[in-house]
Structure 1
Amino acid sequence: MYLFEWMAWWGSTFDETQRDKDWLKSIEKRQASLKALLEEKQPPLDQAVSDVPRSRGPVYAFNDTVLEMHCGSLEHYRGLITPLALTLFLFAFGGVYGAIDLLLQGPNHNGIIDYLVGVIGVGGLTAGLWYCFFKFKFYIPIRWELFTHRRLLIRFNRKTRQVYLHRPKYTGGVVTMPWDKIIAIHEGAGMRLVLAWMPHRTGQPFVTFAAVGKRAGTAQDLLDEWEFIRRYMEDGPKSVPKPRVRSKIPWPWYSLEPQFEGLWPILRHGDWKLWLGKLLMSPAFLILGAGHWVSQLLCWEPRWPKIIREAGQPGKPTPKLTTAEDYDPETCRRLYLNADLWVPKDHDPDAPAKEEESGSQWLP
């Protein structure tokens, strides 16, 4: 499910009418934790954060040039939203049809007239419901997990010193980010390793996130994962244990992993009551796994653009870094409009004094 990625992109592309709403204030409050990153001193990329570099996967490519991994923040809920959304939509259809049926069962029953009224009424209301479904974008939750990319990918390229993210267009699309501007966020158990590119580092008016790998059982798992990526990029593939490269075929047992990832360290130190509780919950995990697998089957495998596939090879061009101007003019304008949601202008250390005062460093 790509809810987190969609919300991050949606929060970067508000228009003026949405910014005037009161609930935008609550969004600005949530940015406090992100803006706190500006004050934190990030360790240099040549500094180790763990003595045991290891990746818990999934890894899809590993060689002297690229490391490709799975990313995405709410993978364990994938396959849950679609049944809920379709159930609500079917209830709406059922309510409309039931109301029409009651109206047609009056005392003055006329078969032909009732038939015509029923056909026209049901057809019109059905068309109206479908119109509302697309007009008000009720299909968006379904697109988070159906008829979209089968997975989100992140590719680290040692030769170009770049990081590539492969995402659907409604979450920002494929982007190219600089390795040396990366920020690693390893909060703790139950979370994934989050990699971020903040505006105060990239000079762009938007933030880019990537939740890499599996959920962690302990905080140390996240440090080990980040150390694996860091050493690969800084010292090469020989400096880290060779990971198992996974096939991209959507086998059904792969869909059970997101439901159980991060549980083993908890179960290992838990008592029999915890084990019994998880055993009783196992049918729910199996149902979620089945929904995840169906979601995978109804999606397509993402494919990198040719310039990214060939990046780092002798004689091949290096992809340009993604900027706001790479998007269409309206999206570009909105990105600059909402730059203050991520980083206030007085936090930009590279802006000249005059630009710092006016905020013109965010103008296209």
Structure 2
Amino acid sequence: MDFTGLNRFTAYKLNRPLTEDERKGQLDPKQSVSDEPLNWMSVININNTYLELVDRWYAIKGFAFWMGAMFAVPFTGIVVAIVVWAIEKNDLENWIGSSVFSVLLLLFVWVGVWLIRHDAFRQTHYPIRLNRKTRQVFAYRPDGTIIQENWDKLFICAITTGSSQMASTEDIRAHVLAEDGETVKDTFTLGYPYLGGREGLLQLWEYIRRYMEEPDGVAKNYNLTEICPPIDGRREGLAFGLVATFAPAAKWPFKGQLLFSWMLTITTLGRWFAMYTCKVPRWPEEVEAACQVDPDDPYQKDWRDNGKYDFWELGWPLICFVVGLVVIGVGIAWLVQAMF
């Protein structure tokens, strides 16, 4: 799990000078970096006026929910059981002991709730909108406020989070700099190729860069965009929640999707719950007014243009989902039998 920028402990560091790694990783919008641009299923909308992208946390939504539930649910049950036991015994010694033990267990409950809150009871996603015509970029923050900056003034760089190859993630970071050109005033992640590594980062950056910089960038990206998350003014449906959760392992249908079906299944369940407890973000009227799309724009595309999912996009993940439910059910039954 990579919660960079989502909570107080991983918040982007502001009012600081650019680091040496950021300078070395700077991405030049005028320079092509990949011959194979890809959008990594990040595009909500594309048209001649603006490109709208998902945030860095959208791809992993649901994972924090089930991880948190693993702490919150059982430990809450244990606390309730202890309280019932203490009431039945009803003596001072048992009350003191159960109270101390319950406080310690409530710390685990708090950790679980804290993890759940990364996914649930927030926004379904935090969109980023790049206006090709006005050169303005708008980005939702997790607290619901919005960053606005001129595209040509952003300092954009490739960032690696984490110290090991297995634990590290790559994202495209955009900094709003002070007038001195050195101090970071604000930050947001412009693109996040989940499990894509450095190659995926460059592919996604090339897709974004081409849209904003090249005369035929809109047409090229329009033709390249196949699936748009169905979250423009709405929550994603159950089917797409399944597609989105299993999609990162699509290259490994057996070693990834089937073998780890139990984990992907429980993440899908967490994603469904999280999405339906969250609010759908709405751009302010002034942003919508600045991003009017020509009704006759030939390069408009969103979720309505997705078409039908094929077997490997939805059919196989659905089979893996059912297998995952069976594995989880057998595991729970074994655990209950072992306990009682």
- For normalisation by structure 2, the TM-score amounts to 0.64
Q: Which residue of 1 aligns with 2:123?
A: 149
Distance verdict in 2 for CA 1:183–1:168, change over 3 Å: same
Q: Which has the larger radius of gyration?
A: 1
Cα drift, residue 10 of structure 1? 6.3
AA aligned opposite 1:251: G
Cα drift, residue 289 of structure 1? 0.8
1:227 lines up with 2:194 in the alignment: no
Q: Which residue of 1 aligns with 2:35?
A: 51
Distance verdict in 2 for CA 1:220–1:155, change over 3 Å: same
Question: Matched residue of 2:121: which SS?
Answer: coil
Distance verdict in 2 for CA 1:141–1:246, change over 3 Å: closer
d(CA) in 2 for partners of 1:38 and 1:247? 33
Cα drift, residue 89 of structure 1? 3.4
Identical pairs, percent: 25
1:176 lines up with 2:143 in the alignment: no
d(CA) in 2 for partners of 1:297 and 1:147? 9
d(CA) in 2 for partners of 1:143 and 1:252? 21
d(CA) in 2 for partners of 1:138 and 1:282? 23
d(CA) in 1 for partners of 2:9 and 2:130? 22
Q: Which residue of 2 aligns with 1:289?
A: 268
User: Of the candidates 162, 169, 174, which is equivalent to residue 136 of structure 2?
Assistant: 162
1:247 lines up with 2:230 in the alignment: yes
Cα drift, residue 230 of structure 1? 0.3
Q: Which residue of 1 aligns with 2:301?
A: none
Cα drift, residue 255 of structure 1? 2.2
Cα drift, residue 240 of structure 1? 2.7
d(CA) in 1 for partners of 2:80 and 2:230? 41
RMSD, aligned CA? 4.0
Distance verdict in 2 for CA 1:202–1:80, change over 3 Å: farther
Q: Deviations over 1:98-157 (max 9, x none)?
A: 223222699xxxxxxxxxxx9xxxxxx9xx99xx99xx9985433321111011211111
d(CA) in 2 for partners of 1:46 and 1:13? 27
Contact 2:120-2:277 at 8 Å conserved across structures: yes
Q: Which residue of 2 aligns with 1:69?
A: 53
Cα drift, residue 176 of structure 1? 1.3
Q: Deviations over 1:149-178 (max 9, x none)?
A: 011211111122122112331xx7321133
Q: Residues 1-364 of structure 1: matches in 2 within 5 Å? A: 3-7=3-7, 11=11, 35-40=19-24, 42-73=26-57, 74-75=60-61, 77-87=63-73, 88-103=75-90, 140-169=114-143, 173-180=145-152, 181-185=154-158, 187=160, 191-197=169-175, 199=177, 206-210=185-189, 212-217=191-196, 219-235=198-214, 236-242=217-223, 243-244=225-226, 245-248=228-231, 249-265=235-251, 267=252, 275=254, 279-313=258-292
d(CA) in 1 for partners of 2:237 and 2:186? 34
Question: Matched residue of 1:152: which SS?
Answer: coil
Contact 1:59-1:67 at 8 Å conserved across structures: yes
d(CA) in 2 for partners of 1:44 and 1:38? 12
Per mean C-alpha deviation after superposition, the further-off stretch among 145-154 and 245-254 is 245-254
Contact 2:26-2:158 at 8 Å conserved across structures: no
Contact 2:191-2:205 at 8 Å conserved across structures: no
Contact 1:215-1:261 at 8 Å conserved across structures: no
Report the count of equivalent residues. Answer: 266
Gaps of 5+ in 1: 15-30, 107-117, 119-124, 269-274, 315-364
Cα drift, residue 5 of structure 1? 2.3
Contact 1:192-1:212 at 8 Å conserved across structures: no
Cα drift, residue 43 of structure 1? 4.2
Contact 2:44-2:53 at 8 Å conserved across structures: yes
d(CA) in 1 for partners of 2:277 and 2:269? 13
Q: Deviations over 1:239-272 (max 9, x none)?
A: 434323442242223223454344344x38xxxx
Cα drift, residue 93 of structure 1? 3.3
Distance verdict in 2 for CA 1:194–1:101, change over 3 Å: farther
Cα drift, residue 195 of structure 1? 2.3
- For normalisation by structure 1, the TM-score amounts to 0.60
Q: Deviations over 1:195-220 (max 9, x none)?
A: 23164686665441326354144532
Distance verdict in 2 for CA 1:61–1:280, change over 3 Å: closer
Gaps of 5+ in 2: 294-340
Cα drift, residue 305 of structure 1? 0.9
Question: Matched residue of 1:240: which SS?
Answer: helix
Distance verdict in 2 for CA 1:218–1:208, change over 3 Å: closer
Distance verdict in 2 for CA 1:276–1:208, change over 3 Å: closer
Distance verdict in 2 for CA 1:55–1:213, change over 3 Å: same
